[in-house]
Amino acid sequence: MKGLIQQCLQEGHKVMPELEAQKLCAGHSIPCPPTQVAQDKDECVAIAQSIGYPVVMKVLSRQIVHKSDAGGVIVNIRNDEEMAAAFTKMNDAIKKNCPDAKIDGFVIQKMMPSGIEVVVGALRNSQFGPVVMFGMGGIYIEVFKDVEFRLAPLSKEEALRQIEETKIATVLKGVRGQAPCDIDALAELIVNVGKLICDFEEIKEIDFNPVLSYPDGCVAVDARIVIG
Ligand code: ADP
Ligand code: MG
């Protein structure tokens, strides 16, 4: 895994490309959806068929950080026709919104069922060293700032307490008759993110936004790992 990070650094990546980031996640038991990268329209369709519809398409570009802002995320693609249409639509949007961005490919990912969106992250604090972050995800993250930090590495019990101290914990326990989410799986994911940043000094920052939380498990659908 260290070799994988070194290779990304040698290729000048500051953020690990999707597939490489997922490999790192897999090595630390962090669940991600089935994902492949395509270069052209035909390959998008072939990969979507092999993964199985519905899929999500995302632009892969070093210059694009917030993919959806650039028109670089299309969800719920249900068949070959929609896949082909999404390819045209996304290319047009990127050309218009980010004319200088170089497109390195297109991420085709299994569309996961909707769940409660949370964020799990990690960073290196100059004073305290590695810390992990957990909180409410989605588009209002900046508005509510419902996040809790802990020093890494941490135990599952600490991670459970960290979750417990956020407001989103109330939602995860199930409101208005909704089934409670698998908080245990989230705590395990936080522990593993803590291990990941502690195991590789080249990792500067981890940002899983969102992690979709379900009554049975959770999955990181956007895995951003900053290296340096
Ligand atoms: P970015 O944060 O760069 O805009 P994301 O990969 O987070 O891009 O995608 C944007 C949104 O699309 C996510 O917040 C999530 O709601 C949805 N999404 C992304 N990937 C999936 C997926 N595999 N299954 C279901 N929903 C997804
Ligand atoms: Mg995201």
Q: What's the CATH code of the domain at 97? A: 3.30.1490.20
| Judgement on whether residues 84 and 128 belong to the same structural domain of the protein | no
Please tell me the predicted confidence (pLDDT) of residue 194.
98
Is residue 5 included in any domain, yes or no? no
The count of structural domains within the chain is 2
Residue 58 has a CB neighbour count (10 Å cut-off) of 23
Does residue 190 carry a pLDDT above 90? yes
Is residue 41 included in any domain, yes or no? yes
- Looking at ligand 1, which residue's alpha carbon is closest to its atom 19? 221
| Judgement on whether residues 49 and 157 belong to the same structural domain of the protein | no
| Judgement on whether residues 162 and 212 belong to the same structural domain of the protein | yes
Does residue 209 carry a pLDDT above 90? yes
| Judgement on whether residues 101 and 122 belong to the same structural domain of the protein | no
Span between the terminal Cα atoms of the chain, in Å = 15
| Judgement on whether residues 143 and 162 belong to the same structural domain of the protein | yes
CA dist 129 and 113 (Å) reads: 35
Is residue 3 included in any domain, yes or no? no
Q: Ligand 2 centre and the CA of 210: distance in Å?
A: 6
| Judgement on whether residues 221 and 135 belong to the same structural domain of the protein | yes
Mutate to test the pocket of ligand 1, among 22, 35, 57, 73 (most ligand atoms within 8 A of CB): 73
Does residue 31 carry a pLDDT above 90? yes
Q: What is the mean pLDDT of the chain?
A: 97
pTM surpassing 0.80? yes
How many whole angstroms from its chain centre is CA 120? 9
Q: Ligand 2 centre and the CA of 105: distance in Å?
A: 18
Task: Using the 3D structure, point to which of 110, 141, 166 is the last residue of a domain.
Answer: 110
> Do residues 208 and 218 make contact, with C-beta atoms less than 8 angstroms apart?
no
Task: Using the 3D structure, point to which of 110, 135, 152 is the last residue of a domain.
Answer: 110
Does residue 139 carry a pLDDT above 90? no
Task: Using the 3D structure, point to which of 94, 110, 126 is the last residue of a domain.
Answer: 110
| Judgement on whether residues 102 and 56 belong to the same structural domain of the protein | yes
| Judgement on whether residues 185 and 211 belong to the same structural domain of the protein | yes
Lookup: tokens for 169: 């914990």
| Judgement on whether residues 124 and 196 belong to the same structural domain of the protein | yes
Going by C-alpha positions, the residue among 41, 71, 43 that lies closest to residue 58 is: 71
Q: Is the peptide bond between 153 and the residue preceding it cis, with omega within 30 degrees of 0?
A: yes
> Do residues 187 and 161 make contact, with C-beta atoms less than 8 angstroms apart?
no
The domain in which residue 152 lies consists of: 11-31+114-227
Does residue 141 carry a pLDDT above 90? no
* Strand ranges in the chain using DSSP code E only, listed in sequence order: 35-38, 55-60, 73-77, 105-110, 116-125, 129-136, 147-151, 203-213, 218-220, 223-227
ipTM: 0.99
> Do residues 62 and 15 make contact, with C-beta atoms less than 8 angstroms apart?
yes
Q: Ligand 2 centre and the CA of 222: distance in Å?
A: 5
Is residue 169 included in any domain, yes or no? yes
Is residue 4 included in any domain, yes or no? no
- Label residue 102 by pLDDT band (50, 70, 90): very high
Give the atom of ligand 1 at the shortest distance from the alpha carbon of 33.
23
